Chain A
Amino acid sequence: MESVSIGKSVSEQHELLVHKDVSSTELTKAYIARIHSVDPDLQAYLTVLEDKALAQAAEIDRKIAQNEVLGALEGIPMALKDNMCTEGVRTSCASKMLESFIPPYNATVTDRLQAAGTILLGKVNMDEFAMGSSTENSYFANTRNPWDLERVPGGSSGGAAVAVAADEASFSLGSDTGGSIRQPAAFCGVVGMKPTYGAVSRLGLIAFASSLDQIGPFTKTVRDNALVLNAIAGYDPLDSTSVANEKPDYTKFLVNNVKGLRIGIPREYYGEGIDPEVAKGIQAGIQTLIDLGAEVSECSLPHTEYAIPAYYLIATAEASSNLARYDGVRYGYRAEAEDVLGMFKQTRAEGFGPEVKRRIMLGTYALSSGYYDAYYLKAQKVRTLIKRDFDQAFEKFDVLLSPTAPTTAFKFGEKSADPLTMYLSDITTVPINLAGIPAISIPAGFIKGMPIGMQLMGKAFDEGTLYRVAYTFEQNTHYHTLKPSLSGEVLACGSR
């Protein structure tokens, strides 16, 4: 029963718990067993919290035994990307720099999920400091794509996507600065939402690029996604960029109906670099929505081609400043040296990986006196134009639709040797972060056994409409029900 229940959605597991068909402890044990079984190959987890998780589960089971009303996420085991602070539990950002960093505080999302009664199974792998699109930049391990172990899971939230795709967690949280939730969700065939900037508190999220970072859920279904967002979204007075809007119940938008909904197809998202097979797959998805009554037409986001350079200037500029604090003085890795300047240099030379250093250098350069106007300031102007593109498009459309990523998951090493190629693969995701709007990636088919993702983009704080379209698509397709045939392979590998 347990091995079956880990494959179920959050809402199904909730029913099982409520009806005492399964206990939270059984569920948690089943996930831990699953992690023991498949994670040696997948390497999604950096830290597994067996004892803590079981203690939390026992607590929930006591409540269930007393027939207390169970919250939607109570007793549900989940995982957090290792850049969200967890009190007393190492939070490494997949970096040597923070290899031994144990925060004395929780991120707001950690607190909120704890308050919702979820079970924290562990912390999952990522690109170092969330910089990357394949999780290959982790200091600790290469996380593998459960659909093909030769391929990357995407990134930077690769571990969080894999944990859900391979049933190593019921859901997980990732962070998305330029596509880091949506692209791995697409590569791994799960649902991934990047909410509106300001919808979810960033307090305790270790910053990469403060004006772009946003936390969001990975789930198996759209309903689950709405349930998790319900738990984590909402104003936080301790994050000055968090927005004091009234938070809706996102599950209210889960209706199987897109009749009359206006969907725009931005032609710039189907340009050079988009795998024709992916485009074809998305085309089929669009047809499904048309058949369901959506009004679909082409539109233009004319400044899209400038999004990548603008993004890589703004994100790296902010990163160069955000990562300055890792100097060996107060916490984290410290190298020995003759004097304080030497310690700074040596600590950072040894503590950061090559991609992080590359971005710090790019960002430092972009902010340097004499270059600021040409790079950082110009990029900010482009950002304004990209926002305006979206504003204008949303005058005519309720949502915009595109492939989440130009290709399906690529092989290890395929792009890591050429950072620029890697950067260019973010073309369909970074404009959304620059504009601060929400976007979701949902499973939309397969090419040669690898999942493809459909991205839906919405107006600021209109996650609801995205959930409505995503839910309708999901209810009328079967992609989300397919699972990687992992256990067989793993058994064949003899790791059990």
Chain B
Amino acid sequence: MVVANQYEMVCGLEVHVELQTKTKIFCGCTTEFGSEQNTHVCPVCLGMPGALPVLNREVVNFAIKAGLALDCEIAEFSKFDRKNYFYPDLSKNYQTSQFDLPICGKGGLEIEIDGEKKWIGITRAHMEEDAGKLVHSGETISTSNESSVDYNRAGVPLLEIVSEPDMRSIPEVLDYLEKLVQILEYTEVSDCRLEQGSVRFDVNVSLRPFGTDTLGIRTETKNLNSFSSVRRCMEYEVARQAQVLNEGENVVQETRTWDEGQGITLTLRSKEEAHDYRYFPEPDLPPLVIDKEWVERIRKTLPKLPAARRARFQTLGLSAYDAAVITQAKAMADFFDEALTYYTDAKTLANWVMGDVTRLLNTNQCSVLDSPISAHQLAELLELINKGTLSGKIAKSVLEEMYSTSKDASMIVKEKGLAQISDEGALLGIIDDVLAANPQSVEDYRAGKDKAIGFLVGQIMKATKGQANPGLVNQLLKEKL
């Protein structure tokens, strides 16, 4: 396909994120994932006759929290509406959502591409219920002999976050998504488990010749569930639209679907076939009034957001890159912050956290949340290096031991006799032995071959199983020679 370098891409996103409340948005059923089909259901989420919704206030709390973290205005007065369409996974054949008066109004977040900062606007964010899940005997609903519906997910609360069409490149889109997911994780409104479908993306893309202001005709590709799908889908869609335009045709305004296997987008429905959702106010729920006190109560629970934490870590001496790595996940930043309360050299701490600690966690596929080494334990280990009790090299092996046993560094050092030998008397004896055994090297050094001292140090370290204090060995050796 043609490379689309003569066109500017314009993109806006709709992100549906599952809020991690314990129970569903309109009933008391658990939101737990991965249970047997249709075990977390009740008359309300099954849409039984006579059932009525009751709004879960925790969902509102989470929506306010996400809204504040995304710099959105929180609406004092919002309401729920019914979005009417027929589909077997929708138990009432309408989705209770928010139409013209959503809980969160205008907001946005800052992205950064190659050091350039850019504000991406958020149009709105609204609460709604998730649908159930269809399980087909074949590939799709139309090619299956049988389909069953699992309503466990029906009624799980969603926040739909709609961005402005502010993004102009795929890296911008990906950075927006990364920052957005990061903020949602930081505020703990969602666990953002993409592999479980707890975040889903609709991508709106259009092209226009560089230098023009008017928007081109867009397509919307629905229901992507990973960053890589978003990237591939956009690459495909940009190329496809560019080809259409290059052939002198118009892009058709339509809803498309992403075929992960083939790596292409396909027409789902045209503008003419678009659903008429017949939105109207949900008569079973009174309007939602959120006073200032409520908003302030939630504001107090907001954690430090990634951008603020990155800035703080940089003032402690971390590079921009290191600060970004450490704050990537809230859990890691929390771990880092906790360790900092016991150990103040941020730069050294960052090296260990990003290096050996991360390596151990990754090798064992372990989340920092479940790390067998606590932040306090790591700080103690680093303190032992500072005090000269451990060499850096031995500390690494102690760390591994800590990882597998969860024991404190000091205990491992004690049990294994790993403390550095800093006793001059003990070291002088060993040095004498080594010098006596290696007269040639002694002679070489005295003849001006500085390198020979390295060999001698190595022999001393070997004799002490690496426990000799290297600085002291060097000093004593030079004095002797």
Contact = CB atoms under 8 A, between A and B. Distances in A.
A223 to B, nearest CB: 30
Given A240-B54, A318-B283, A325-B93, A330 B47 contact: yes
B141 interface: yes
B428 interface: no
Given A85-B49, A340-B141, A340-B147, A240 B286 contact: yes
A209 B281 CA distance: 13
B82 A104 contact: no
A114 B208 CA distance: 68
B42 to A, nearest CB: 9
Contact of A211 (B52, B84, B88, B283): B283
Interface in A350-364: 364
A353 B280 CA distance: 25
A211 B283 CA distance: 5
A321 B54 contact: no
Report, nearest first, the 5 A-B pairs whose CB atoms are least far apart.
A324-B93, A367-B278, A210-B283, A211-B283, A204-B50
B91 A207 contact: no
A241 B92 CA distance: 19
Contacts of A93: 49
Interface residues of A, number: 45
B284 A104 contact: no
Interface residues of B, number: 31
Interface string B280-311: 10011110000000000000000000000000
Contacts of B280: 317-318, 321, 367, 372, 376
Taking chain A's interface residues, is the majority helix, strand, or loop, or is none over half, making it mixed? loop
A364 B52 contact: no
A204 B50 CA distance: 4
B247 interface: no
A339 interface: yes
Nearest to B88: A329
B48 A331 contact: yes
Nearest to A323: B93
Contacts, number: 100
A442 to B, nearest CB: 29
Contacts of A84: 50
Given A85-B50, A103-B49, A203-B50, A369 B86 contact: no
Contact of A205 (B43, B50, B86, B88): B50
Interface-centre pick from A105, A209, A211, A240 (highest chain B CB count, 10 A): A240
15 contacts: A85-B50, A93-B49, A104-B43, A105-B50, A107-B50, A203-B52, A207-B49, A238-B52, A240-B285, A321-B82, A330-B47, A330-B48, A330-B149, A340-B147, A367-B278
B276 A321 contact: no
A325 B49 contact: yes
B372 interface: no
Contact of B84 (A101, A240, A321, A376): A321
A240 B52 contact: yes
Interface in A156-177: none
A202 interface: yes
B470 interface: no
Contacts of B47: 325, 330
Contacts of A203: 50-52
B401 to A, nearest CB: 56
Given A327-B93, A369-B276, A98 B149 contact: no
A206 interface: yes
Interface of A: 83-85, 91, 93, 98, 101, 103-105, 107, 202-207, 209-211, 237-241, 317-318, 320-321, 324-325, 327, 329-331, 339-341, 344, 364, 367-369, 372, 376
B88 A101 contact: no
Contacts of B285: 240-241
A268 B280 CA distance: 31
Contacts of B227: none
Interface in B23-67: 43, 46-55
Contacts of B55: 240
A204 B284 CA distance: 13
B352 interface: no
A120 to B, nearest CB: 16
Contacts of B53: 240
A242 B283 CA distance: 12
Nearest to A202: B52
A151 B67 CA distance: 61
A402 to B, nearest CB: 27
A311 to B, nearest CB: 14
B142 interface: yes
A369 B142 CA distance: 28
Interface-centre pick from B84, B93, B279 (highest chain A CB count, 10 A): B93
Contacts of A369: 276, 278
B403 interface: no
A339 B136 CA distance: 13
Contacts of B88: 327, 329, 340
Contacts of A239: 52
Contacts of B147: 340
Contacts of B276: 368-369
B446 to A, nearest CB: 93
Contacts of A325: 47, 49, 91-93
B94 interface: yes
Nearest to B284: A210
Contacts of A104: 43, 48
A329 B134 CA distance: 12
A364 B48 CA distance: 21
A210 B92 CA distance: 14
B284 A241 contact: yes
Contacts of B86: 324, 327, 341, 344
Nearest to B142: A339
A241 B286 contact: yes
Interface-centre pick from B52, B84, B147, B276 (highest chain A CB count, 10 A): B52
B87 to A, nearest CB: 9
B387 to A, nearest CB: 62
